[in-house]
Amino acid sequence: MNWVGAVAPGTVGGRRAHPPKAGKGWENKINKKENKKAIRSGLAATVSKVWAERRGHKLPDHYPLVMQRSFEEIESTKKLEKILAGIGIQTSQERRIRQGKGKSRGRKYKATRGALIVVSKDCPLMRSSKNLLGLEVCDVKNLNAEMLAPGCQPGRITIYTESSLEVLDKERLFT
């Protein structure tokens, strides 16, 4: 008779009364028009030098940055790092150890967000940029407000390719 009451929630050592449900939908829904407006606002803030400086980025003199189509075909991480250093973009962001229980739950390191590169399609640049800390590469069709303004702070430093701007204009995305 040792474990008789262990299945009842009111007993010592018993189960939880209202545990979290596995089937619950945790994602937050957002209105379509509101989402498109947030993405348009994020795009506008990435082009503004004032917003990017307010966010704390060190910007080159020739901002906003638009690269040639051949930029998407870079296959080497070392070559990409050299090009980014040449135009004045820092890639080596520091990462630090998180405080609290997150360390033991698979979220040990916390790193700041660096530059965002917007490309027109799935390309070799996406693979070559994976080892650069803080740098993200995204297809123009998959842009969202969190990428353009992480932490609800607009003005992330963004590098566009010519072909991504053409896709944005031709397909009239986010309008």
For residues 152 and 145, give the distance between their C-alpha atoms in angstroms, rounded to a whole number: 8
- For the chain, which residues make up each domain, given as ranges? 31-93+109-170
- Please report the pLDDT score of residue 4 as a whole number: 67
The helix (H) or strand (E) run that includes residue 151 is: none
Exposure string for 22-60, b = 16+ CB within 10 A, e = fewer: eeeeeeeeeeeeeeeebbeebbebbeeeebbeebebeee
Is 80 exceeded by the pLDDT of residue 26? no
pTM comes to 0.81
- Please report the pLDDT score of residue 175 as a whole number: 86
- The percentage of the chain sitting over the pLDDT mark of 70, rounded to a whole number, equals 96
Dihedral sign for Cα atoms in the order 64, 70, 74, 80: negative
- Secondary structure (DSSP) of 5-60: GGGSTTSTT---SSPPPTT---SPP--HHHHHHHHHHHHHHHH-HHHHHHHT----
What value does the mean pLDDT take over residues 81-100? Answer: 87
pLDDT digit string, tens, across residues 71-84: 999 999 999 999 99
For residues 138 and 144, give the distance between their C-alpha atoms in angstroms, rounded to a whole number: 10
φ/ψ bin of 128: left (φ > 0), alpha (ψ from -120 to 50), beta (otherwise): alpha
**The two three-digit tokens of residue 61, written as one number:** 């003199």
CB 175 within 8 A of CB 169: no
**The two three-digit tokens of residue 166, written as one number:** 């053409």
| List of residues 6+ apart from 54 with CB closer than 8 A | 155
**Number of Cβ atoms within 10 Å of the Cβ of 159:** 22
Is CATH 1.10.260.30 the classification given to domain 31-93+109-170? no
